[in-house]
Amino acid sequence: MILPVFFSSWPARTPPENEAIVPAATALPHAHAHNDYRHDKPLREALSRGFTSVEADVHLVGNELYLGHWLPQISADRTLKGLYLAPLSSLMTRQQGKVYTNYEGIFYLMIDIKTDSLATYRVLWKQLQQYPVFRCNPHFQVFISGNRAMHHIQNDPEQMAAVDGRLPDLVKCAGSDVMPVISDNFRKFFKWRGKGPMPALESERLQAFVNEAHRQGKKLRFWSIPDQPNVWETLLKAGVDFINTDNLQGLERFMTTRMNATPRAAEPLGVLPEK
């Protein structure tokens, strides 16, 4: 059955296929582009701003994966393959397997499955196999969120993708190779909405989550965060690995300023500065 398109999640325009991807000179290791496909230039804007994690929601319709949150955007130029897999493969092939040439970390492609977990994963698995540069690449990781066919993903001998965990999954201690990221709803665990400092008890809870995720070698992300600088700074100081945002420009500006801020060395006591 062909489902109707949910027009409110369409971007203002779709970039032409031949529009070059120009990644930023500096990668931002903590920047996650939430629902990236909703932006005017899916993938391209995120990479131009240095984001190292992008999110694409997919629906299986027929034998194709279409982008969309609530409903699929059924159009030939709104497929996962067309907007994400093929462009990333082309870029990485030109750049010796990397998205950013001067970044030694991992670029994460999070695929949030909205339709049947196993049927959708099987189609995704076949599509991922078409791009050899993705396989066994220490600089690239696909991980599956939403409807997760966990048994099949975790037991795939070819390890085409990994699983996006939830906070309760921390007690299962799955290996970071099969569950590299833990993501959960911020509002389920915290009442703080970004005004003033985070309350002490909530700050302790946040730190406990961070510590346990890192003890297991996993990265931590929260969605539904208040998307503003005080929250970004609080999460980063606690050690949260990915800052989830819809405001790509704002987070890029914030993180670039933060990275470039270097404390000024204090003058030694009793020594006058030279004139």
Write the CATH number for 51: 3.20.20.190
Retrieve residue 148's tokens. 């997760």
Query: Rounded to two decimals, what is the model's pTM?
Result: 0.88
271 occurs within a structural domain: no
3 occurs within a structural domain: no
Q: What is the CA radius of gyration of the chain?
A: 20
pLDDT at 18: 56
161 occurs within a structural domain: yes
Element (H, E) at 207: helix 200-215
Report residue 226's pLDDT band, with 50, 70 and 90 as the boundaries.
very high
3-state helix, strand, coil in the chain (%, to 5): 35, 20, 45
10 occurs within a structural domain: no
**Host domain of residue 134:** 26-256
- 20-54 per-position pLDDT tens digit: 899 999 999 999 999 999 999 999 999 999 999 99
- Number of domains comprising the chain: 1
266 occurs within a structural domain: no
133 occurs within a structural domain: yes
- d(C-alpha 38, C-alpha 13), whole Å: 10
270 occurs within a structural domain: no
19 occurs within a structural domain: no
